[in-house]
Structure 1
Amino acid sequence: MNTDVRLLLLSPDDNIFVLRAAVEAGETIVVSGQQIQISTRIGLGHKIARNAIGKGDKVLKYGASIGSATCEMSPGDHVHLQNLKSDYTPTYSLESERDAHTGERT
């Protein structure tokens, strides 16, 4: 599989690449042997879709979910705040830090 050297795959399970260098609108990159034209400038360190990602699909970086896609994405699409939603849910509350019997902080 030929892939552009500007793309970094952090885990074989990932569905995104991290850019090792910025790419400009109109540039062509090669993803798994497929030529893809970039529609907008994407900066160094940003993420692009490795393959098609469906709305609601988990976006994987380092083999772990970093959120869910809020829309359909094609290979080479910029993956960022405009199309990624965090799945983080806080697991604490201030009241749970108090001892139920004494009312003191634990």
Structure 2
Amino acid sequence: MKYIVLSERDNVATALENIPIHSEIQIPLKNNLVKLKQEIQFGHKFALEDILKGDRIIKYGETIGVATCNILKGFHVHVHNLEGTRGRGDKV
């Protein structure tokens, strides 16, 4: 398996190996096919659906941050477009 998704709530998947651009990834848990728009490096996340600026980023069923810009399905999700909220009392 090239990725991990643990919850139907997740809107990102985490790469378990480097995944080339244009790869088509079937996500059975969400009944979803994702065509990657960028290469995704091991340990990094990619969007399983369009995520709008201000939307929560959900990984492993938990909110890990909010989108700082619109992130389209298949794009890389990382510090350039995600503000972390875990462990912060001032963010939900």
For the criterion TM > 0.5, the same-fold answer is yes
1:24 aligns with 2:23: no
Higher relative contact order (CA 8 A, sep 6+): 2
Aligned to 1:7: 3
Higher mean displacement: 22-31 or 71-80: 22-31
Which of 1 and 2 has greater Rg?
A: 1
> RMSD of the alignment, in Å?
2.1
Query: d(CA) in 2 for partners of 1:10 and 1:76?
Result: 18
Structure with the largest fraction of strand? 2
**Selected match of 2:82 from 66, 81, 84:** 84
Q: CA deviation at 1:19?
A: 1.2
> How many Å apart are 1:40 and its aligned residue?
2.7
Contact 2:34 2:74 in 1 (8 A): no
Deviations 1:33-52 (A, max 9, x none): 5351x333211121111111
Percentage identity across aligned positions? 33
Aligned AA for 2:20? Answer: E
Counterpart residue type for residue 70 of structure 2: E
Change (3 A) 1:50 1:35: closer
- Cα pair distance change 1:58/1:22, threshold 3 Å: same
Q: How many residues align?
A: 86
TM-score normalised over the length of structure 1: 0.67
Distance 2:33 2:89 in 1: 40
